[in-house]
Amino acid sequence: MEHEPNNNANSSETSNSAETSNSARPHGLSGGLRLAAAAAQVALDNRGSDVLVLDVSSQTALFDYFMLATGTSRRQLHAIADEIDDRLQKDLGDKRLGIEGFEESRWIVLDYGSVVIHLFDEEMRGYYDLESLWADAKRLDHQELGLIDHARRSE
């Protein structure tokens, strides 16, 4: 198969950068945001505390969002992780790429490609302090994401 020369160098560069952008973010930012918001809602529904969604897309090309939540027990952290898997797969058609820390249940990491979910016990959340490590990330407001904190509404 012969390759025709490209007389317009700029169109080649544009095409390559568009391909890179699409391959790095196959769902675009909005797809990742939907996943992060759904995961955050699951954490809130299961009484997770300090639920936070960070937009890290301008800091790294590896992923777009972090969702962080704290649980009070191994059982609660497992329930949140299992329900996030279930909701993201059944409702949004996404499948987890990896999981770490489930057995120890002090810091569970769920990798969905564009979204990385961090579920901590209180001690590990304070120790690793991802909020400070990623301080330049944009914190997304619960209201902006359409999240409902049922625990706070009943107080």
The answer to whether residue 121 sits within a structural domain is: yes
Q: What is the pLDDT of residue 25?
A: 56
- Name the H helices within the chain: 9-24, 28-45, 74-90, 122-128, 130-133, 142-145, 150-153
> Is 138 inside any structural domain?
yes
Q: How far apart are CA 149 and CA 137, in angstroms?
A: 23
CA distance 141 to 133: 19
Give the count of domains, the chain: 1
Residue 10 above 60 pLDDT? no
pLDDT at residue 12 is higher than 80? no
In a domain, 13, yes or no: no
Sequence-separated (6 or more) residues with CB below 8 Å from residue 123 = 106
Q: Is 88 among the domain residues?
A: yes
Q: For 82-134, how does the pLDDT look when each residue is reduced to its tens digit (9 = 90+)?
A: 999 999 999 998 999 999 999 999 999 999 999 999 999 999 999 999 999 99
Q: pLDDT above 90 covers what percent of the chain?
A: 70
Q: Give the residue numbers spanning the domain of 87.
A: 27-153
Q: What is the pLDDT of residues 119-131, one digit of tens each?
A: 999 999 999 999 9
Binning the chain into helix, strand and coil, the percentages to the nearest 5 are 45, 20, 35
CATH of the domain at 148: 3.30.460.10
Spell out a b/e string for 21-55, using b for 16 or more CB atoms within 10 Å of the CB, else e: eeeebebeeebbbbbbbbbbbbbbbbbbbebbbbb
- With cut-offs at 50, 70 and 90, classify the pLDDT of residue 50: very high
Is 11 inside a domain boundary? no
Higher pLDDT pick, 81 / 14:
81
Q: Reading across the β-sheet that carries 65-71, which strands appear in turn?
A: 98-100, 107-111, 115-121, 65-71, 49-55, 138-140
**The two three-digit tokens of residue 88, written as one number:** 């993201």
Q: For residue range 53-70, what is the model confidence (pLDDT) as tens digits?
A: 999 999 999 999 999 999
